[in-house]
Structure 1
């Protein structure tokens, strides 16, 4: 049988989590599910997760380990694995991935409640800690990184808070097993977000140094020195365990980490652009950015109000204590002091690391939310009267009332945030058009068999980039079509020659009427040659769709191509193939060029190709050629001299006179008559390259 108090506490926690789950589901359905995800980071994490999920479905769970130990992870390795597992277990898309964040938040709340109750020996402190976390606004941060934005930031906020709770449960590394638990949580945190290793090591080193100083200055207190020595030993074991596990993973991914953090954040020019976007111009701006961001965007006014209530109520209970003198203590009790020192360090540590980085982000500062809430509880407990027979009844009631008030305000904060529309809702018509545009991209790519189409944009926004159409394709059809960013993939921009080259390599291009102005150097560059890019697209691509948004128009261009049918398992066979395109496109681009790989060692001779178009009067033959280009082939069909048959669609048949059969070479039961591999590129051109 559970004690009545424990039963009540668990009932409250369970009820809270159920309520939050309902709010989470309602808000997701109303505000999130119906439009493509914004923010570049969220898109990249979702794409990586969906890619891994499909690999598991195709090749088994062993793919999870392959991804874990593969190289190329710049920010963390566990996050996409967790998202893929959620997708496999729960089913669906995006919703199960966001459930990973929700579970992390549930874990933080449970850890905060149980830690505060145990560390300060009153369950009212558990409810105060819970209420303070609910009072924070990190979960609902509109610029990203909250519960409904699938990226590492919110999970790191939860795990870092759980780590701080575990340290407090260990009585500041006094107990060995809890200290090893700190290492376990730390490992999980760092493998999700590599940079947090600097937070943990910095905070641990600072706390260890402080413990050493205390042991030296109070060396006459043998018991105190013994406890400090035990803390230092356990802290060393915890840190060593953490380091032994995570360092091999970091070394395995060092090149990616170096490219992202060293070249991207420390050495490259992009960091200055990011700072300028946030209006940071001087040292004062750098030093004040994160304190202001944390106070305004992650903690919020409700948190500061409930913190004031908690501390004032704690002081009131001390004043109302029956005796002005505390009961004598047999030894120094350093626990409260060390708790406050540790929690202050847990806040300052990440702030120092983040502030040193010139490239700032309002999203990442929220990681200190857990320690901030625990610090308020620690201060409240330190100024309040401690449980004893001398405590007044009124003092106990004040603390109970304080816990109820703080918890109620926190719950109100969550209900208030969940009951509001997000700013995106006001633009729902535009977002629906954006969703349709992304669907068009996915449909065209699927129709032409493009699995990794290149796409160029003339703006840089969270909505218009290669991520949303990739995610839209997978979420709506479960097709993994990974759009590759070409022009518009970097805030620094490129020169005219490079921009034109990227556009020519693109399968899609989206040009907008938005003004090419902004802090990003990209805009100053593209404004100087935008007309040339647009003219090339008008001349060499096909307009697939024009989307009239409320404040601008977007024109979708697609590279002219033809649909292929009649292929067999990645090969062109002796049965030939068919090309289908529209008459209007073929009249503009009469040359069809197919390129791909060939195994000339197996072919008895270079194949000849015959091209024909079926009309009402019979077959209409058109010039065609098969050319060897190194180990590849190039098939060219010239319809410029033909009078195309009436109708919207034109079907061109290609037949070949040379092939080989792999069975003769001991490859099993494959008796297909193979010519060459499936074309990797199908182009429609104005004229033969190199011709006048």
Structure 2
């Protein structure tokens, strides 16, 4: 598929890359601390991973680093194991547990993807220019810097899985079509790490390995290459399968029951047919994850290469570069097909498609670049080969910097977020004053800014105290018997009631509670004390507490 390694980056270029990556890290860390870590943790999915990471950090503080890592690793998991374990190491290095330190893990994994491209592309293509173009191109991917769910400022697993998928795609290229035993073993490690980061990646890697077996069976030197592929699969299985087995009941319940057979699965279905599903995957890959800047950058750099090709003598065709093309297709199409066929839809998981797109773009650029015969005279022409790399770095760097420096939230959003923090602090103060051992907080709508789980995390981040808030309302996205709602309401110490909001609720639970609003309002007025009414995120809400609380 590819020739033996032909080129590497010199030390001075790695030093330059190190400086650029350090600048990326420092800017990201500063902006994440200022704009995101200072607010309540948005998007419910990251609540679990932050909570587990903070628990492990506290255990580390009491018993040492090794014990903290073991605590994190032994925590039951249904979606991924590696994220919170690595966060403990980040906290240890940083000297404290914080959201900004946790989010730095997302950027470190992204930098690993950039470094993997710099390491891999010269060896596969012989071109350092293409390596720098890949380095800049991934900075143009829109979702990472969007400040939305699944971006680099969301501590859920999806951004890390995307970057590790990118690293794995690079290692796959280095196997030389599985002729290299060493790189095949390294691929097994990369696949295993990606599986441990995001268990769902197994749904992509299983068919990828099947396709690789079929492909290798069609080659002349099939048996030694198949052996190396089996070695890669064996290493990945050795790393991931023990963890899958230990957590098998939780994984089965979450993915099979929660996403296929269960009642919540039915509530989440959008009812898409195959065409609508494909449009969802392709459309959101383009508009959310790649974005217009990515598209214009690809078009502009492709045009630049075509211009250079038109203005210079042409080399004989260097070949189709099948390695990059093949793995680009595999890493794009296999997960795309899986995500299209799956009935449930989520934009957050589409990031795994980005590495395949990046490889296919680099393949196109390699085909064009390999045909250009640069002339050393006159002297100014000697700088022309660097022009595409400089253009890619400029495009990626400017996109990254502009998105990091621009305000992440509108003044209205920030005002609402500050109000949420004030409500959280009030509840915390009342819990401490009332000496509540296990306070219960009810919310009549499923929102991502306040409930028992969110308050538990916010109190730790703001006050470094764990308060075991009970979660009774809501405890599911599903509606239950009306009498069960009022039974649970009797156990609440605090109740947050939505007086006005757009629409009538998204989930069945929301719709039920909106229907019951007159009865809920009457019950709260009769049995609880109204603390205050407030407006956040376009909703008018009322906070109630037990009458005997100070």
- The equivalent position to 2:40 in structure 1, one of 32, 36, 40, is 36
Could you tell me the TM-score, scaled by structure 1's length? Answer: 0.73
Question: Corresponding residue for 2:366?
Answer: 381
Question: Corresponding residue for 1:662?
Answer: none
State the secondary structure of the residue aligned to 1:358: coil
Distance 1:452 1:369, change over 3 A: farther
Instruction: Report if aligned partners of 2:59, 2:71 keep a CA contact under 8 Å in 1.
Output: no
- Aligned pairs for 1:231-630 (under 5 A) are 231-276=225-270, 281-316=272-307, 322=313, 325=316, 336-385=321-370, 392-393=375-376, 398-515=384-501, 517-549=504-536, 551-561=538-548
Question: Corresponding residue for 1:117?
Answer: 122
Question: Corresponding residue for 1:150?
Answer: 155
Instruction: Report if aligned partners of 1:438, 1:468 keep a CA contact under 8 Å in 2.
Output: no
Counterparts of 1:99 and 1:248, CA distance in 2? 28
State the secondary structure of the residue aligned to 2:495: strand
Question: Corresponding residue for 1:96?
Answer: 101
- TM-superposed deviation, 1:360: 1.0
- Aligned pairs for 1:136-147 (under 5 A) are 136-147=141-152
State the secondary structure of the residue aligned to 2:516: helix
**Higher percent of residues as strand:** 1
Instruction: Report if aligned partners of 2:440, 2:471 keep a CA contact under 8 Å in 1.
Output: yes
Instruction: Report if aligned partners of 1:112, 1:374 keep a CA contact under 8 Å in 2.
Output: no
Counterparts of 1:212 and 1:148, CA distance in 2? 43
Question: Corresponding residue for 2:223?
Answer: 229
- The equivalent position to 1:24 in structure 2, one of 28, 44, 50, is 28
Distance 1:209 1:356, change over 3 A: same
- TM-superposed deviation, 1:451: 4.8
Instruction: Report if aligned partners of 1:309, 1:402 keep a CA contact under 8 Å in 2.
Output: no
- TM-superposed deviation, 1:315: 4.5
**Higher percent of residues as helix:** 2
Counterparts of 2:280 and 2:313, CA distance in 1? 46
Q: Which runs of 5+ in 2 are unaligned?
A: 1-6
Q: Which runs of 5+ in 1 are unaligned?
A: 216-224, 328-332, 563-581, 583-692
Counterparts of 1:324 and 1:474, CA distance in 2? 63
Counterparts of 1:504 and 1:234, CA distance in 2? 62
1:247-272 per-position Cα deviation (integer Å, ceiling 9, x unaligned): 12111111111111111111124345
- TM-superposed deviation, 1:9: 1.2
Question: Larger Rg: 1 or 2?
Answer: 1
Instruction: Report if aligned partners of 2:56, 2:88 keep a CA contact under 8 Å in 1.
Output: yes
Instruction: Report if aligned partners of 1:313, 1:399 keep a CA contact under 8 Å in 2.
Output: no
State the secondary structure of the residue aligned to 1:511: strand
Counterparts of 2:544 and 2:259, CA distance in 1? 35
Counterparts of 2:102 and 2:177, CA distance in 1? 34
Q: Is structure 2 residue 214 aligned with structure 1 residue 209?
A: yes
Distance 1:165 1:550, change over 3 A: closer
Most deviating of 395-404 and 36-45:
395-404
Distance 1:551 1:376, change over 3 A: closer
State the secondary structure of the residue aligned to 1:485: strand
- TM-superposed deviation, 1:42: 1.3
State the secondary structure of the residue aligned to 1:151: coil
Q: Relative contact order, CA 8 A, sep 6+: which one is greater?
A: 2
- TM-superposed deviation, 1:545: 4.0
Question: Corresponding residue for 1:641?
Answer: none
Counterparts of 1:498 and 1:5, CA distance in 2? 65
- TM-superposed deviation, 1:512: 2.0
Distance 1:536 1:261, change over 3 A: same
Question: Corresponding residue for 2:185?
Answer: 180
RMSD: 2.6
Instruction: Report if aligned partners of 1:450, 1:481 keep a CA contact under 8 Å in 2.
Output: no
Instruction: Report if aligned partners of 1:437, 1:547 keep a CA contact under 8 Å in 2.
Output: no
Instruction: Report if aligned partners of 1:311, 1:376 keep a CA contact under 8 Å in 2.
Output: no
Q: How many residues align?
A: 538
State the secondary structure of the residue aligned to 2:105: helix
1:57-99 per-position Cα deviation (integer Å, ceiling 9, x unaligned): 23443253244235x3110122122223322331141111111
Instruction: Report if aligned partners of 1:104, 1:158 keep a CA contact under 8 Å in 2.
Output: yes
- TM-superposed deviation, 1:432: 0.8
Instruction: Report if aligned partners of 1:46, 1:80 keep a CA contact under 8 Å in 2.
Output: yes
Counterparts of 1:397 and 1:173, CA distance in 2? 37
Distance 1:318 1:202, change over 3 A: farther
Counterparts of 1:382 and 1:517, CA distance in 2? 54
Instruction: Report if aligned partners of 2:257, 2:265 keep a CA contact under 8 Å in 1.
Output: no
